[in-house]
């Protein structure tokens, strides 16, 4: 499985993302050619170069707007404060990436709806369009909530909009070119303090960034400038499949995208591609509860509900409870993600007033699935593999039962025939 990992030890922004993905090996020519589909090339140009940052060689990306005064750059994640002393209508990094259209500006505005239409009407492929719209929607919804406006009324200031569009769509183009099976992020560092922007003094993290990063694992640092911009936060929230840095891996490529601030830590975003080995160890939750006042029929109904809801297994154990009453211990095995949902089902559909939890490691075989033809019919089989080698076959019971009935055979004969055919195909 090919995994793209974002190591955000010094934060993340749109330009750092582009720099890191280009440094990883995405073709610069492919990025520039693909972006022509937006028909914005008359409004900006790229300044892309290799530089050293704290002794690390990486790629620095600037999107230079043609109407911007000399020296003002986009997405200047870690080196923007000197701009704020001047009376120019431009965004504070990306904390002011979006504005509600409730007061006048010198510049034309692009609304969220118009930006989405621009993306949809372009010749970009569907995957790039989908990724781009997901990121913009995450940012737009957060900005709308901060300003108290619905998404449709969020307008993006032109000076910020062009470079934001290029950042977001460019990131989507690069991700599409890499075609990872999974995208994983590290925990996200956040900074403290205040920064001056077009709306006045904003706290760090910027309100939009913090809104976007709800439910994302973060930690606070003593850094006093912006580490994570709203565009960076949007990329995280829209693209992350998980937040983890564990597991066996074989790293293939590494890329570094440079920020513009220099401080004691390397101001870079590191990304790498690695092949993840299929895990044969995972964690499960065991949920237990004791019941002595439900009928067998009622408990059977609950078992069906739990299995349909995604429980890995449900089983009953006869026990003796207080006053020597016969009872049942109802046990569920489930993934950690299903713990809350299945607990709520237990509390709703059984007479219990509480449950117990145990977190357990388990070793499992790698699994594959094949079809075996016997008696002019198909049996679906699960293959168990150890270190990539098939070691056992489990025929699907319902298939074997159906074939046994249809042919007046014992189910054992059908099972044996399936296993014999599986051996012939070298799956076992």
∠ CA(85), CA(86), CA(90), 5° rounding?
110
Range list for CATH 3.30.70.1380 in the chain: 281-363
Is the pLDDT at 365 greater than 70? The verdict is yes
Fold of 366-424: Ubiquitin-like (UB roll) (3.10.20)
Is-contact 233 51, C-beta < 8 A? no
Q: In this structure, what are the phi and psi dihedrals at residue 169, rounded to the nearest 5 degrees?
A: -70, -35
| CATH number of the domain located at residue range(s) 281-363 in this protein | 3.30.70.1380
Distance CA 112, CA 155 (A): 6
Question: What does the alpha-carbon distance between residue 331 and residue 306 come to, in Å, rounded to a whole number?
Answer: 11
Residue 69 has pLDDT above 60, yes or no: no
**pLDDT tops 80 at residue 155:** no
For the chain, the first-to-last Cα distance in angstroms comes to 24
With a CB cutoff of 8 Å and minimum separation 6, the contacts of 277 are: 247, 248, 249, 250
Sign of the Cα torsion 116, 120, 124, 127 reads positive
Give the model's pLDDT for residue 158: 41
Q: How confident is the model at residue 211 (pLDDT cuts 50, 70, 90)?
A: very high
Listed residue (112, 99, 96, 103) closest to 148, CA to CA: 99
CA–CA–CA angle 362, 364, 366 (5° rounding): 155
Tokens 């737009």 identify what position?
Answer: 140
Count how many residues are written for the chain. 428
* Residue 340 burial (10 A CB sphere; 0-12, 13-18, 19+): exposed
> Which part of the chain is CATH 3.10.20.300?
366-424
| Number of Cβ atoms within 10 Å of the Cβ of 36 | 12
* pLDDT value of position 156: 60
Cα separation, 402 vs 88, whole angstroms: 76
Q: How confident is the model at residue 79 (pLDDT cuts 50, 70, 90)?
A: very low
Handedness of CA 235, 240, 243, 249 (dihedral sign): negative
Pairing of strands 44-53, 56-65: antiparallel
DSSP, collapsed to helix, strand or coil, labels residue 265 as coil
Q: What separation in angstroms does the CA of 393 have from each of 56, 243, 328, 415?
A: 51, 34, 33, 10
pLDDT of residue 119: 94
Structure tokens at 196: 């001056």
Instruction: Answer yes or no: pTM beyond 0.75.
Output: no
Q: What is the rounded average pLDDT of the residues 115-129?
A: 95
Q: How far apart are CA 390 and CA 368, in angstroms?
A: 9
- The answer to whether residue 163 scores a pLDDT higher than 80 is yes
Percentage of residues in the chain having pLDDT higher than 70: 85
How many angstroms separate the CA atoms of 181 and 95, rounded?
31
- The three state secondary structure string of 232-261 is HHHHHHHHCCEECCCCCEEEEEEEEEECCC
Three-class SS of residue 54? coil
């Amino acid at each position: 499985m090919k995994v793209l990992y974002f190591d955000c030890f010094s934060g993340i922004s749109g330009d750092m993302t582009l720099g890191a993905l280009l440094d990883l090996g995405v073709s610069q020519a492919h990025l520039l050619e693909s972006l022509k589909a937006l028909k914005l090339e008359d409004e900006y140009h790229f300044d892309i170069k290799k530089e050293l940052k704290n002794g690390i060689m990486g790629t620095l990306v600037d999107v230079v707007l043609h109407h911007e005064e000399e020296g003002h750059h986009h997405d200047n994640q870690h080196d923007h404060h000197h701009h704020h002393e001047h009376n120019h209508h431009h965004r504070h990094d990306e904390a002011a990436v979006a504005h509600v259209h409730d007061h006048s500006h010198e510049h034309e505005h692009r609304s969220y709806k118009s930006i989405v239409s621009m993306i949809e009407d372009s010749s970009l492929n569907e995957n790039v369009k989908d990724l781009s719209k997901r990121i913009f929607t995450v940012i737009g919804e957060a900005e709308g909530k901060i300003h108290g406006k619905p998404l449709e009324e969020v307008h993006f200031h032109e000076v910020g909009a062009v470079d934001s569009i290029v950042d977001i769509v460019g990131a989507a183009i690069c991700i599409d070119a890499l075609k990872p099976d999974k995208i994983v992020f590290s925990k996200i560092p956040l900074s403290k303090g205040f920064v001056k922007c077009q709306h006045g003094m904003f706290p760090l993290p910027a309100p939009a960034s913090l809104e976007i990063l709800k439910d994302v694992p973060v930690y606070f640092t003593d850094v006093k400038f912006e580490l994570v911009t709203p565009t960076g936060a949007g990329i995280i929230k829209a693209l992350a499949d998980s937040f983890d840095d564990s597991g066996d891996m074989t790293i293939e490529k590494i890329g570094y995208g440079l920020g513009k601030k220099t401080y004691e830590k390397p101001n870079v975003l590191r990304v790498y591609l690695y092949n993840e080995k299929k895990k044969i160890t995972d964690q499960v939750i065991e949920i237990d509860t004791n019941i002595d006042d439900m009928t067998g029929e009622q408990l059977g109904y609950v078992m069906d509900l739990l299995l349909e809801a995604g429980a890995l297994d449900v089983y009953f154990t006869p026990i003796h409870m207080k006053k020597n009453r016969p009872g049942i211990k109802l046990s569920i095995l489930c993934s950690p993600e299903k713990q809350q949902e299945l607990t709520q089902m237990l509390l709703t559909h059984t007479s219990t007033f509480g449950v117990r939890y145990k977190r357990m490691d388990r070793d499992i075989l790698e699994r594959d699935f094949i079809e075996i033809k016997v008696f002019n019919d198909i049996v679906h089989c699960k293959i168990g593999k150890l270190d990539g080698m098939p070691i056992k076959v489990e025929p699907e019971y319902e298939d074997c039962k159906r074939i046994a009935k249809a042919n007046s055979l014992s189910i054992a004969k059908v099972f044996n025939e399936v296993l014999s055919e599986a051996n012939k195909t070298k799956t076992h």
